[in-house]
């Protein structure tokens, strides 16, 4: 069922929505925009581009919020901030405020998804954070006992009770059916978190545990078919970095 609603009294037949529809679900008829019965992916391009506000999406709350272009941000400052970004492994105990958590999740909600599937799920560990970490710690300690005689570096790893979350107050698990959409959402979320003075650690070790521990998988209560793509450990940093770290030369070419 097509969710596009067109107010024909407002429609001026400019065809902007028709030309911008990625699935060719719109056409002009008698000088007015009309929709096909099928094929709409609810991307909202028609809603966003209509100069008359003649289009609504029936499945969504349409509040007519004005667009804020990325050009409002200074590109040099943004690039310097992105280059300055560091993975944080030392956090204060200060809780992350609810309004900041909401903004982080909202950034993830508005990240692009293939075919506008909007199929990314966000799980805040909350009161079960300590329990989830304990499962991972036990799993890794047992693995260390088995692997240390064979792999030398495992002997040097100190798996403390806070090995996975580093004492951070907030952990958000991002999951989906594929790898790309949750990863994109996580990038949006990290930029938002950093902009509010928070630090982020992607816990790859937690993802490993989620893939092999049935107990942890049950705790997470993920939607059917979802897998953990990222585990975002978030909090206020207790360290401050003083300079941008150099990188290898850019590897890029024009074909």
pLDDT of 85 over the 90 cut: yes
Confidence of residue 34 (pLDDT cuts 50, 70, 90): very high
The matching CATH number, chosen from 3.40.50.720, 3.40.50.2300, 3.40.109.10, 3.90.230.10, for 71-235 is 3.40.109.10
Q: Helix 204-212 vs helix 129-147: angle between axes, to the nearest 10 degrees? A: 80
Split at pLDDT 50, 70, 90, the class of 151 is low
CB-side neighbour CA atoms (13 Å) of 79: 4
* Residue ranges of domains in the chain: 4-57, 71-235
Exposed, middle or buried, 171 (CB in 10 Å: 0-12/13-18/19+)?
buried
Contacts (Cβ under 8 Å, ≥6 apart) of 94: 169, 235, 236
Q: Is the pLDDT of residue 150 over 60?
A: no
Beta bridge partners of 55: 6
Q: What is the pTM of this model?
A: 0.92
The whole-number pLDDT of residue 149 equals 56
Mean per-residue pLDDT of the chain: 94
Q: What is the pLDDT of residue 6?
A: 95
Residue 155 clears pLDDT 90, i.e. is over it: no
Domain 4-57 has CATH 2.60.40.420: no
Integer CA distances (angstroms), 205 to 16, 142, 165, 252, in order: 48, 14, 10, 30
Residue 206, both tokens:
């937690």
């Amino acid at each position: 069922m097509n969710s596009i609603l067109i107010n024909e009294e407002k429609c001026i037949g400019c065809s902007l929505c028709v030309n911008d529809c990625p699935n060719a679900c719109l056409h002009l008829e008698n000088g007015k925009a009309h929709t096909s019965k099928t094929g709409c992916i609810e991307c909202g391009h028609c809603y966003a581009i209509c100069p008359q506000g003649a289009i609504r999406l029936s499945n969504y709350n349409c509040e007519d919020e004005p667009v804020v272009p990325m050009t409002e941000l200074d590109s040099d400052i943004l690039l310097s901030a992105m280059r300055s970004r560091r993975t944080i492994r030392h956090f204060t105990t200060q809780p992350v405020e609810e309004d900041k958590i909401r903004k982080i999740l909202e950034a993830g909600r508005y990240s692009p998804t293939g075919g506008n599937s909007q199929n990314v799920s966000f799980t805040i560990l909350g009161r079960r954070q300590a329990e989830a970490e304990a499962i991972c710690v036990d799993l890794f300690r047992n693995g260390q006992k088995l692997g240390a005689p064979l792999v030398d570096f495992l002997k040097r790893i100190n798996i403390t009770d806070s090995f996975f979350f580093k004492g951070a107050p907030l952990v958000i698990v991002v999951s989906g059916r594929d790898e790309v959409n949750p990863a994109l959402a996580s990038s949006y979320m990290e930029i938002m978190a950093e902009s509010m003075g928070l630090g982020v650690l992607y816990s790859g070790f937690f993802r490993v545990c989620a893939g092999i521990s049935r107990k942890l998988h049950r705790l997470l209560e993920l939607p059917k078919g979802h897998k953990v793509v990222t585990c975002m450990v978030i909090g206020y940093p207790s360290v401050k970095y003083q300079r941008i770290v150099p990188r290898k030369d850019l590897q890029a070419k024009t074909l």
